[in-house]
Structure 1
Amino acid sequence: MTDKGKEGEKTSMNKRADLHTHTRASDGTCEPHENVRLAAEAGLAAVAITDHDTVAGIPAALEAAGQLGQAVEVIPGVEVSSLARGQDIHVLGYFIPYEDQAFLQRLSGLRDTRHERNKLMIARLQELGIPITLEGVYRRKSGEDKNIGRPHIAEEMIELGVVQSIDEAFAVYLGKEGKAYVNPPRITPQEAITLIKEAGGVAVLAHPGLYDDDELVQELIAFGLDGIEVWHPDNSQEQREQYQRWAEAHGLVMTGGSDFHGWRGEEPFHAMLGTHTAPYDAVERLREIAGKRKRQGE
């Protein structure tokens, strides 16, 4: 592991947590138990399961942690999709009520919007002369709840020979500057923050460095974010230092995570689980906030 990958000067006495990972429940390639195993192998104290708009991977991850004798703590989480100023804004929710039916229903509505977006994006690709179909993309996942995202579309494009890599698919077609980028109406990030907090969870802004919009980040901090993802593979060193200053100024929890999505070919996507982390005291702060919120709601 390179020094660049070791976020936050890890020592033998310093427990770490990867607070941003995905599984096959959304657009990752690993089963939940594999994320837990990888976290244990990396020597982590905790790993969060934060799939896009779904909590379906959490029970299996908790079961896997139990089988390992709780060597790794599993933090139940979710990454909520929202839209602001024409681009995706993602808000991470931690210690969310993953068995609450009302919360699950809200997430189901978000996945319906994701499905509509997939249809629009594939239609745009077809207009560009690319022989891609909705059926071809959706065959990549089994089961009734097909939580499909842009990486699945990118995989299909690779198989069709349109692009050579996930990165190329996003750069040319699927990213926010891409030829086929579309975004139907979604909830705002403020609504995502409210959804998470009203459910008793803790709201953290995911990978703020991706948005290239510091004004929006500051607006969301003022609105009521609980934390900000400082250590992420897409945040530059300068951005990390800036987010640390903002977090300290506003009393926010500083989190970090690899945004691990499994492997696309031979390379981990975005980064290998455990290479971007936060100190374990971030977990303790998240748990404390969630506990207070739960008690206030009782």
Structure 2
Amino acid sequence: MNQRADLHTHTKASDGTCEPAENVRLAKEAGLAAVAITDHDTVAGVPAALAAAASLGIEVIPGVEVSSVGRGQDIHVLGYFVPYEDTAFQERLVSLRETRHERNKLLIGRLQELGIPITLENVYRRKQGTTDKNIGRPHIAEELMELGVVGSINEAFEKYLGREGAAYVNPPRITPQEAITLIKEAGGAAVLAHPGLYDADDLVQELISFGLDGIEVNHPDNDAEQRARYTAWAQEHGLIMTGGSDFHGWRGEEPFHAMLGTHTAPMEAVEQLREVAAKRKGK
């Protein structure tokens, strides 16, 4: 077995297309030693993944990807070894999902103003039958594809849903600093997700100084130059260097963002995250 871990994957609990057990199976097939379940603002997929892992001999790391806004754009902070069974932590995540719901209503309203016949009801119907109706922009992008407005997920984000898109909205959310604090106070390890997406290295450095435990160096949206820069910063500040595919399942026949297991971190990083979280929990 490859002593590596994919530390960034999504399931149907948020905006992925696979059941949690499928992520675990794919990790096993990829020869990984561990996989993290890091759905957006929910830990609902963790128990099913842990149950699936019990018979496959692979470790599942309980995680979450917390949504925040810094300097007018989405900033995501990954939390590892979070208390997924803790009621207070779950309730805090509920409030984050409610903000996401408000964002979706505003976004769809803007799309309607642009003459696009999209409705909140049709987008949310995509999650019927799941345990947690945690709707994200990829679900809206899929609806735009079905309506024939765009030909791909990428086109949906470029034209309408991304930071430069015609329908982009960003209602008030917690700050990245608050997201880091939330994870750390819960007893988890806080890692900045896909820093290469933000085009704001001064903000990345500000968050490092604030108290990040780690930085996601190996991600499909970090180019070689960025990976080298983040590696240097991690070494300089004693941060844990993580990696993950940001797998969301499939959009059509293509994996989105990347196939599970293609971007990973060594198990040494997992042990470092585990140690940080254990100390925080007082274990």
- For normalisation by structure 2, the TM-score amounts to 0.98
1:155 maps to amino acid: E
Counterpart in the other structure of 2:43: 55
Alignment of 1:227-242 (within 5 A): 227-242=214-229
1:244 maps to amino acid: T
Counterpart in the other structure of 2:265: 278
Alignment of 1:111-260 (within 5 A): 111-143=97-129, 145-260=132-247
1:20 aligns to 2:8 (yes or no)? yes
Which of 82, 90, 98 aligns to 2:84? It is: 98
Q: How big is the shift at 1:67?
A: 2.0
Q: After the TM superposition, which parts of structure 1 deviate over 4 Å for at least 4 consecutive aligned residues?
A: none
C-alpha RMSD of matched pairs (Å): 0.9
| 1:216 alignment partner, SS class | helix
| 2:179 alignment partner, SS class | helix
Counterpart in the other structure of 1:38: 26
1:174 maps to amino acid: L
Which of 33, 41, 64 aligns to 1:78? It is: 64
Distance (whole Å) between structure 2 residues aligned to residue 86 and residue 153 of structure 1: 21
Q: How big is the shift at 1:72?
A: 1.2
Distance (whole Å) between structure 2 residues aligned to residue 15 and residue 172 of structure 1: 40
Q: How big is the shift at 1:81?
A: 0.1
How many pairs align? 282
The C-alpha deviation readout for 1:196-254, integer Å capped at 9, x for no partner, is 00000000000000000000000000000000000000000000000000000000000
2:187 maps to amino acid: G
- For normalisation by structure 1, the TM-score amounts to 0.93
Unmatched 5+ stretches in structure 1: 1-11
The C-alpha deviation readout for 1:20-66, integer Å capped at 9, x for no partner, is 00000000000000000000000000000000000000000000001
Distance (whole Å) between structure 2 residues aligned to residue 289 and residue 101 of structure 1: 22
Q: How big is the shift at 1:78?
A: 0.1
Distance (whole Å) between structure 2 residues aligned to residue 54 and residue 62 of structure 1: 15
| 2:64 alignment partner, SS class | strand
Distance (whole Å) between structure 1 residues aligned to residue 240 and residue 198 of structure 2: 20
Distance (whole Å) between structure 2 residues aligned to residue 39 and residue 239 of structure 1: 26
Q: How big is the shift at 1:145?
A: 3.1
Q: How big is the shift at 1:142?
A: 1.4
Q: Percent identity?
A: 81
